[in-house]
Chain A
Amino acid sequence: MPYIKFLPLKATEVTITRNSMEHIVIIGNGIAGVTAARHIRKLSDKKITLISAETDHFFSRTALMYVYMGHLRWTDIEPYEHWFWEKNRLELKKAYVDRIDTDAKALYFSEGDALNYDKLIIATGSVTNTFGWEGLELDGVQGLVSKQDLDALEKNAPNKEICPSAVIVGGGLIGVEMAEMLRTRGIAVSMLVREDAFWTNVLPNGEAEMISRHIKSHGVDLRHNTNLDKILGDENGQVRAILAKETGEEISCKVVGVTTGVKPNITFLKDSGIETDKGVLVNRKLETNIKDIYAIGDCAQQREPIGNRPPVEAVWYTGRMMGEALAQTICGNAFEYNPGHWFNSAKFFDIEYQTYGWVFSEQRRKEYEQHFHWKHEDDTKCITIAYHKDNQKFLGINTFGIRLRHEIMDRWLTEEREVYYVMEYLRDANFDPEFYDTYEAEIVSKFNSEMDTNIKPKKKNWKRIFSY
């Protein structure tokens, strides 16, 4: 990277002296920023610079766990080889942005240098969310969001001799990942979950309870209805235990994993004039209140929530989709961020989870939303189908231990099929590997007996599957 000395110039002068090639600067090299960069490059010849203080190269954040577990090396979680960036003329700068001067269109780095931009994309992602507990500053207290968090965990919990036990606070996706990671090294894990089953703010109870049982079966001391009171340290400022609020019990541990969600990483934007709330406030075109500045990914907050989506969506896929949409806008083809049907997936130890459309938990269930639930007797597979109680329209599906074909689900949601149709053609949607046991007959038979219907599941048909 050439060292660019920042010169304070008036806005008009900048325009005159600016290189004729428009300079797009993206803060953050995560999935949102990199997707935007790739698509801008496809559509244009603009100069593109990606800035990150975290790593030199883009990596898959969702794969951090596999490095600690020894499934993958660091290099394996980088989706592009290192020549990719230069070949596509994507300039990389490893630096931390301290401050943005939106009038001079300049970024100031904590390293002391600065950089001008024509258009700025903020894609800085998330940081760990905490609730101001006592003892958060102690050594051994950490989240699992960044490369630095992974390094910290390798240092704090290299093995069960140095770290015999750990406590994880919060029962979301990162919490269960962290539990799985620590268990591979034989470390005793206690997990404090506020609710009476795992992730009940998202999952319907039947599913949440099944996952709770599965987590326990992996030797995790999963404690429902338990909140953290405070974290206790020793004389060296190292974690030694936590206090549980409800019972007052002290659980000794060397590591406290804080996995109570994430929040937008936007502290560096204060005093910049860019309007923020929880995240950077954007309109549907992903524009902030200041011209030529955009925000995408985890750090963006929609002024108006889109459909049932939360205003801040901290999900891999939405980051990517915002990057795709914004690239069009930046390249002169103004496009709104207009996501299609909601989908997501995760894996809880050995159980895969997929969701399409909206299936709400008991806490958040809409008044019109009705559920059909089936669970396999082996307690590792289940599905929940949400439908409208008045018109039987299919609203969404959660599956555990069964893979579904995204295209089929997306089509059925678009076509607003009735739940009966979903049952009848469920075999078209199966995406499990060949020769797997199939459960459609069992699922439909339970549906028939509960709903007093007589649906016969149709055989899988390629013509239907590919008829889009």
Chain B
Amino acid sequence: MNATNNNMSLTGEPPKALNTQQKMATFIGLAGLAILFLAMFNLDFPNKAIWLTVSLVSIAVGTIWFAKAAYLNKHEGIKNDGVYFKSISSKGLWAWVLGIAMTLFYVVLYWFPAYLGLVKEGDNQGVIALFDPLSKQLSGNPASQWFLYGTLYTLAILAFGIKFIWKYRHNRYEILRTISVMFFQLSFAFIIPEILVRLNQPYYDLKNIWPLNYDLFAGYKINEFLGAGNIGLIMLIFGVLSIFVITPILTYKFGKRWYCSWVCGCGGLAETAGDPFRHLSDKRQSAWKVERWVIHSVVVFVTVMTTAVVFSYLRGNESESISKWSNLDDKMVVISEPEGKPIGERILAAQEAGAKSVIFLLKDASEKPPVIEKTEGITIKYGVVSQADNQPVLKRIEEGQDAALTATDGTSFIVQKGADVKQYDNSLISKEFFVWGVIIVLTLIFSWVMLFKRQELAKDAKYGAIGYFAVVISILLFTYYSSPGKLFFFDAYQLNKAYGFVIGSIFSGVIGVGFYPIFGNRVWCRFGCPMAAILGFQQRMLSKFRITVNGGQCISCGNCSTYCEMGIDVRAYAQKGENIVRSSCVGCGICSAVCPRGVLKLENGPLEGRIDGNEILLGNDVDLMTLVNRK
């Protein structure tokens, strides 16, 4: 017997037609998109601010009116009639058209922004130029392809968020969490970073936590933070606390849903614009096996990559690493590490790299100035400068003003206004400290799991964990003891670039969103997101969150599994009376909503009895239940 009755949609005429209002709403929304499309093909709109407003408002109004016509004339309740009959939501023609169109958009966005009208030097053109007025309003800068993307992304979450709220208007959990993702997207992801830029602060989306935000600890970002004074430092510290302190506490209390379906931007888009595609996730057990390997491999990749990037940043900050390839043309170089390679050799290396002068900044006034040895061959000016004696002068240099430093031997170093100064040896931690820190943290987590939680790991999970732990630790030790700045044969920069290309662009963007109508709305979150993997690991091991199964009330209908966007076979647990405690569960609450018998409840309760395996369900002979549960 064929599993899917394909001819159903041919013979039947199920509830799939649009009503008149929905057709009009679709037209308005498409008209808004058409303006963007025409702009992309360089149709020059005279008054960009007005046309942009018309376009965005049309898209929003079209979407919201469509939703109103779809839901508000009906009873409160589950609105899944005809989901499998509509072309757009059952991998029909329209699903493919939409999927291909979105994929093309991502390809252009990531790799060919010039087609959108991005001009690096000079005025933007095309559709990006249309967004210039809004961008200038917010940050004061012209728009980029990312600003265009961010605006449309936010618009999608807001408009489809309203649609989602109306669809589930009987369910306050769904309403509140949707308002939450709409808020975080509009403020944290969209407006606040732009305003930070306007205020000359680093662009930072505070809720975009490493490792989802894989570039957070990249060298350029750290420089940006450190260059921004106290606010930058606070941001950097917040970034570290986010993943190591805030995230574990919240995940312990609420499960990973606090992030994945209440805060996260990827989750926000998946839950709003992606909601019509949630049933397309693959529920087969084989898909689950693939998921576990792929997502944990991404975690390993991002950990190694980030470690390499930070390590090479720290290494590059050491004056020891100065070589003739360090680009120091006409710069004044500041070093302050007395130990290691003779200072004279370092000055010579800076000279070969084109430096104008080198000063050794004596940080601790109580220490004696170092004796500079091996000075033969040095032709550029150098000297030792005491930090304590030159405090106001150093501050002027930091602010880019004219200044004159006085060395301990009395010579004076004139720094021109706006001159290039390159500082070394000023990072808070050493590369050794960092690598050992990473090794210790990973070892602690690994040991904790293996000592206290190994019964909860399946066989393949154990092998995977041991294998990956061994690989990561060997890479780190190898790096530490051999080629500095590189990981095996990978250069940190290349590794970061590869990650950005494969994971950041192709996986999360093109496949993750472009393929919504084909693979479902959470492909990225389920198979790719390293943040989801880390939160999920904690959710499975140490959290109060679970989906409680209500005694013996399950009728195995399959609504929960079908509408699980993460592809969890919820029914497999529910029909056994077993609570659902799965790493991948993002706590969207839809399984509980669509259950016709009130079997599922998301809740945060005591750790004891959270994971239980009641093979015999409530309702039967008490003695029999005891017998079978004994096992």
Contacts and interface: CB of A to CB of B under 8 A. Distances in A.
Interface of A: 31, 39, 42, 55-57, 60, 62-63, 66-67, 69-79, 81, 154-155, 158-161, 184-186, 217-218, 316-317, 320-321, 324-325, 328, 333, 335-341, 343, 345-347, 349-350, 352, 354, 403-407, 410, 431-437, 462-463, 465-466
Given A70-B14, A407-B551, A340 B597 contact: no
Given A158-B12, A217-B75, A352-B598, A81 B285 contact: yes
Interface string B593-608: 1101110011101101
Interface stretch (B82-90, B356-364, B394-402): B82-90
A56 B1 contact: yes
A347 B624 contact: no
Contacts of B14: 70, 159, 184-185
B423 to A, nearest CB: 52
A69 B173 contact: no
B176 A435 contact: yes
A335 B4 contact: no
A74 B3 contact: yes
Given A60-B556, A71-B80, A354 B620 contact: no
A324 B84 contact: no
Contact of A354 (B85, B285, B558, B598): B598
A62 B616 contact: no
Contacts of A218: 75
Given A79-B558, A433-B589, A410 B75 contact: no
A343 B616 CA distance: 15
B558 A70 contact: no
Nearest to B555: A62
A281 to B, nearest CB: 21
Contact of A320 (B601, B617, B627): B617
B484 interface: no
A463 to B, nearest CB: 8
A60 B561 CA distance: 13
Interface in B118-172: 170-172
B17 to A, nearest CB: 9
Interface string B616-631: 1111111110011000
B47 interface: no
6 contacts: A60-B558, A71-B559, A72-B84, A79-B575, A354-B553, A463-B606
A159 B172 contact: no
Given A75-B4, A185-B13, A436-B173, 16 more contacts: A60-B555, A69-B15, A77-B557, A81-B285, A158-B11, A325-B621, A343-B618, A345-B553, A345-B597, A349-B77, A406-B552, A407-B618, A410-B619, A431-B550, A434-B173, A462-B606
B597 A184 contact: no
B562 interface: yes
B621 A339 contact: yes
10 shortest A-B CB distances, which residue pairs?
A: A406-B551, A159-B13, A350-B77, A403-B598, A63-B557, A75-B3, A158-B12, A338-B621, A70-B82, A435-B172
A328 B624 CA distance: 9
A155 B84 contact: no
B70 to A, nearest CB: 14
B173 A76 contact: no
B592 interface: yes
Contact of B618 (A75, A186, A337, A406): A406
Nearest to B563: A71
Contacts of B75: 217-218, 349-350
B346 interface: no
Given A185-B15, A328-B624, A70 B602 contact: no
A349 B13 CA distance: 21
A77 B559 CA distance: 8
B621 A316 contact: no
B559 A66 contact: yes
Contacts of A81: 284-285
B571 interface: yes
A71 B601 contact: no
Given A317-B552, A325-B621, A340-B618, A76 B562 contact: yes
Contacts of A434: 173, 589, 601-603
B596 A352 contact: yes
Contacts of B609: 466
Contacts of A410: 551, 618-619
A432 B595 CA distance: 12
Contact of A321 (B5, B593, B605, B620): B620
Contacts of A340: 618-622
Contact of B3 (A73, A338, A341, A463): A73
A347 B85 contact: no
Contacts of A159: 12-14
Contacts of A76: 558, 561-562
B589 A406 contact: no
Contacts of B572: 79
B553 A343 contact: yes
B451 interface: no
B8 interface: yes
B562 A154 contact: no
B502 to A, nearest CB: 31
A254 to B, nearest CB: 14
B536 to A, nearest CB: 20
B81 A71 contact: yes
Contacts of B548: 431
Contacts of B594: 71
B76 interface: yes
Contacts of A354: 553, 597-598
Given A70-B15, A71-B83, A435-B173, A325 B557 contact: no
Contacts of A67: 5
A154 B13 CA distance: 10
B76 A350 contact: yes
B619 A72 contact: no
A233 B558 CA distance: 38
A434 B176 CA distance: 10
B624 A335 contact: yes
B598 A71 contact: no
A185 B592 CA distance: 26
B601 A324 contact: no
A360 to B, nearest CB: 19
Nearest to B628: A324
A462 B609 CA distance: 12
A335 B616 CA distance: 14
Contacts of B3: 73-75, 78
Contacts of A217: 75
Contact of A79 (B176, B556, B592, B597): B556
B393 to A, nearest CB: 60
Nearest to B13: A159
Interface string B76-109: 1110111111100000000000000000000000
B621 A70 contact: no
B620 A55 contact: no
Contacts of A78: 3, 558
A336 B621 contact: yes
A466 B608 CA distance: 9
A343 B571 CA distance: 20
Most chain-A Cβ atoms within 10 A of its Cβ — which of B82, B624, B628? B624
Contacts of B86: 70
Interface string B540-580: 00000000101111011111011000000001100100000
B285 A316 contact: no
Among A70, A75, A343, find the residue whose CB has the most chain B CB atoms closer than 10 A.
A70
A433 B15 contact: no
Given A62-B555, A317-B552, A433-B602, A70 B624 contact: no
Given A55-B1, A431-B598, A431-B601, A406 B172 contact: no
B550 A73 contact: no
B277 to A, nearest CB: 15
A426 to B, nearest CB: 16
Contact of B83 (A70, A324, A406): A70
Contact of A72 (B551, B558, B615, B620): B558
